[in-house]
Structure 1
């Protein structure tokens, strides 16, 4: 096992295989389901060539290049993370791709994914073209696509366009806010405040930075650097 491997990925492999490294090729091949949390890179994942299910939670950045050769991978979940591009995803033989609450703007790479039957891109700042044109085209290809409703999509798109990496989504008929990736919080999968519909519409027209007051740690200094979307 390489010393360059991210500590979070190493921890996940130790949990899956049952002991600390180094791991044999046969042990890597026995890993079919892997859950990784708080990883900064996926270098070494390519060794798990029999992987069928991969779950990434609160990872940032998310470069799926190391996963591009995983030809047994049926299901990919990336949530509350820093996934920005689906280019590497399109090379995978996925049946399901669940990517709620990331930084995805363009779903063009998935238009040729013949096996894809389920896609979740709720809580992402999808471009107008992806949201209004490509999502319906994917649905016509018999892919079940979950996207945000109009209001929360508009707010998410607006906030990210203004350089504020906060997303809005609905759960149990409630509007919620989240901060995907690790730029604003170490635990993006937790503490998603509930807001009212009037708050959503207000944030669409007011100061976008005011969104931070809805989070419990709003009084703490926020030091973050984001790549322009």
Structure 2
């Protein structure tokens, strides 16, 4: 990371849970961190540095559950947590606290958040988010697909609601290009 000392914007797409922000926070000129459609599960490292510049943190469609550490990030201007399986505490308590501190927060609506959280709690790494008026499912990270930022499936609200009950593995059936006949026979494809 020493060679990246002037880096201001870092974008990572489709990384798995092994992504570690400890090295990233050493980049003093960093102003924008973008990690999307990945397996990132914590933002705690961001609170380990006294930021002297304003920071924007865009982390849509990851596996982040706890964002309490973000309240300790000085000068945090923007954060995107859309499509993450946030805990009840993070969704209902921490996010409002961030907004009170002046941070602009993008967040999933109640239904998408509940579905994403429910699926992840059941071991199904599928995220739900809403883009304009359309509900969409995606597979963050490289665990199940080589192209986590493509092939997001649009589904009707009724189908989204149905994912809150019944067999959670049913979510995989919305990805026929990835799963031939269920998650046990997954093949990677475009």
**TM, length-normalised to structure 1:** 0.75
8 A Cα contact 2:40 2:63, kept in partner:
yes
Report which structure shows greater RCO (CA 8 Å, sep ≥6).
2
Among residues 39, 63, 74, which one is paired with 1:103 in the alignment? 63
1:219 has 2:183 as partner = no
Name the CA distance, whole Å, in 2 between partners of 1:84 and 1:49. 25
Residue equivalent to 1:78? 35
Name the CA distance, whole Å, in 1 between partners of 2:176 and 2:152. 9
Name the CA distance, whole Å, in 1 between partners of 2:61 and 2:147. 13
8 A Cα contact 2:9 2:30, kept in partner:
yes
| Residue correspondences, number | 180
8 A Cα contact 2:125 2:139, kept in partner:
yes
Name the CA distance, whole Å, in 1 between partners of 2:125 and 2:104. 27
1:58 has 2:22 as partner = no
Among residues 133, 149, 158, which one is paired with 2:109 in the alignment? 149
Residue equivalent to 1:42? none
1:168 has 2:128 as partner = yes
Deviations 1:112-133 (A, max 9, x none): 1120010000000000000000
Gaps of 5+ in 1: 1-44, 225-229
Higher Rg of the two aligned structures: 1
SS in 2 for 1:65: coil
Name the CA distance, whole Å, in 1 between partners of 2:15 and 2:94. 26
8 A Cα contact 2:180 2:187, kept in partner:
no
Gaps of 5+ in 2: none
Query: 4+ residue stretches of structure 1 with deviation over 6 A?
Result: none
8 A Cα contact 1:46 1:67, kept in partner:
no
1:124 has 2:84 as partner = yes
**TM, length-normalised to structure 2:** 0.90
